[in-house]
């Protein structure tokens, strides 16, 4: 490909020079100059054409969160419930796959824990660790919607004693169904009274359809 380039360029130059020749036959010095210019151009083009074509190395998005898994373990034993949202192409066109493994049982208290993963990397990277390391800069919020009757409470705090929320408890109330939304805010105002005055930026916003029976 590069050779074609150089040739094209040279041909065009040659024709221009020929054109000039007819006008400047008298001026031999001009011809010399032009010849010199041609050489310079030709050499430069060759030089730049020879640049190496290194294949670039892939970049795996380091900060993307592809997967959030919320595990709800009933106090007093029983099958734990998993809520998961998984988007293996990150910001790509595929939508997240949202799964809820089962229904909550009325009157039962569950211990909740949240795990965040970046699965674009191999092995996958646990983002929860980073969030817990920077606990002052993060906070989870739990929002129930529709008719869902549940009560949530924070299960862990940051180093200043304000809620962090990668661990929590949830008490299932009367049989009902609705949505449960988990929101992770980066650099929120702490302490706050909820999403309304927390500010910061949303790192995660995932909504699950949940039923209490």
Partner 1 sequence: MHKYALLILLLCSITSISQNCDKTLSGSVTDRHDGSMLIGATLIVAGSEQAVQTDLEGKFSISNLCNDTYTIQVSHPHCLTKGFTIKISGNTTKSFKLEHHLEELNEITVEGKAYSDKSKTILQSKISKSELERFSSGSLGDALNSLSGVSSINTGNTVIKPLVNGLHSSRIVIINNGVRMEDQEWGTEHAPNVDINAVGNLTLIKGAGALQYSGDAVGGVIVAEASKVPVKDSIYGKTQFTAASNGRGSSLTSQLTKSYKNGWYAAVQGTLKRFGDFEAPDYVLSNTGIFERNASLHIGFNRFDYGIEAYYSLFKNDIGILRASHLGGAQDQLRAINSETPLIINDFTYNIIAPKQNVTHHLARVKGFKRFDNFGKLSLQYDFQRNNRLEFDIRRGADRNNASLDLQLDTHTLLLDLDSHLTDVINLKTGVMGRYQNNFADPNTGVRRLIPDYDKYDLGVYVVADYRLNDNLLLEVGGRFDYTYMDIFKFYRTSFWESRNYDQLFPEVVVEELDNQILTNPQLNFYNPSGTLGATYSFGNDYKLFFNYAIASRAPNPSELFSEGLHHSASRIELGDLRFNSEVGHKVSLALQRNNDIFSFSVNPYVNSILDFIVIEPTEIQQTVRGNFQVWEYRQTNAQLLGVDADASYVFTKNFRLNSQFSLVKGYDRIRDEPLISMPPVNTKNEIVYQNSKFNNIRLSLQSAYYFRQNKYSNNNFEVFIPETQTTEIVDVSTPPAAYHLLNFNSSIDFTIHRKSKLTVGFGITNVLNTSYRNYLNRLRYYADDLGRNFLFNLKINY
Residues 4-43 that bind partner 1 (CB under 8 A): 5, 8-9, 12-13, 16, 20, 23-24, 27, 30, 33, 37, 40-41
State the minimum distance, in angstroms, from the CB of residue 91 to partner 1: 5
Stretch that binds partner 1, among 46-54, 100-108, 149-157, 164-172 (CB under 8 A): 46-54
Helices 28-49, 2-24: crossing angle, 10 deg rounding: 170
Long-range (24+ apart) CB contacts under 8 A made by 38-43 are: 38/13, 38/14, 41/9, 41/13, 42/6, 42/9, 42/10, 42/13
Strand partners for 141: 183
- Binder to partner 1 among 164, 204, 210, 212 (CB under 8 A)? 204
Q: What six digits make up the tokens of 8?
A: 């094209």
Comparing CB distances to partner 1, the nearer of 46 and 108 is 46
Measured CA to CA, the distance from residue 175 to residue 91 in angstroms comes to 36
Residues 69-108, mask of contacts with partner 1 (x by CB under 8 A): ----------------xxxxxxxxxxxx------------
Q: How far is the CB of 106 from partner 1 (least distance, A)?
A: 22
Alpha-carbon distance 207 to 151, whole Å? Answer: 16
- Hey, is 49 helix, strand or coil? helix
| Interface with partner 1, residue 174, by CB under 8 A | no
Binding residue for partner 1, selected from 39, 79, 133, 213, defined by CB under 8 A:
133
Residue placing its CB nearer to partner 1 in the complex, 88 or 153:
88
């Amino acid at each position: 490909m590069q050779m074609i380039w150089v040739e094209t360029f040279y041909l065009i130059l040659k024709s221009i020079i020929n054109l000039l020749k007819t006008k400047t036959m008298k001026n031999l010095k001009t011809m010399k100059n032009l010849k010199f210019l041609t050489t310079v151009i030709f050499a430069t083009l060759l030089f730049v054409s020879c640049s190496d074509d290194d294949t670039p190395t892939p970049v795996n998005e380091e900060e993307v969160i592809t997967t959030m898994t919320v595990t709800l373990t009933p106090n007093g034993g029983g099958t734990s419930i998993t809520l998961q949202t998984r988007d293996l192409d990150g910001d790509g066109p595929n939508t997240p796959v949202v799964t809820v493994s089962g229904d909550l049982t009325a009157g039962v208290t569950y211990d909740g824990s949240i795990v965040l993963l970046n699965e674009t990397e191999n092995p996958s990277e646990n983002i929860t660790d980073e969030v817990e390391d920077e606990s002052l800069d993060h906070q989870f919020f739990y929002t129930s919607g529709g008719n869902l009757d549940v009560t949530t409470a924070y299960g862990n705090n940051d180093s200043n004693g304000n809620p962090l929320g990668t661990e929590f408890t949830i008490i299932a109330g009367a049989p009902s169904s609705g949505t449960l939304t988990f929101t992770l805010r980066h650099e929120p105002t702490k302490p706050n009274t909820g999403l309304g005055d927390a500010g910061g930026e949303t790192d995660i916003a995932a909504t699950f359809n949940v039923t209490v029976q």
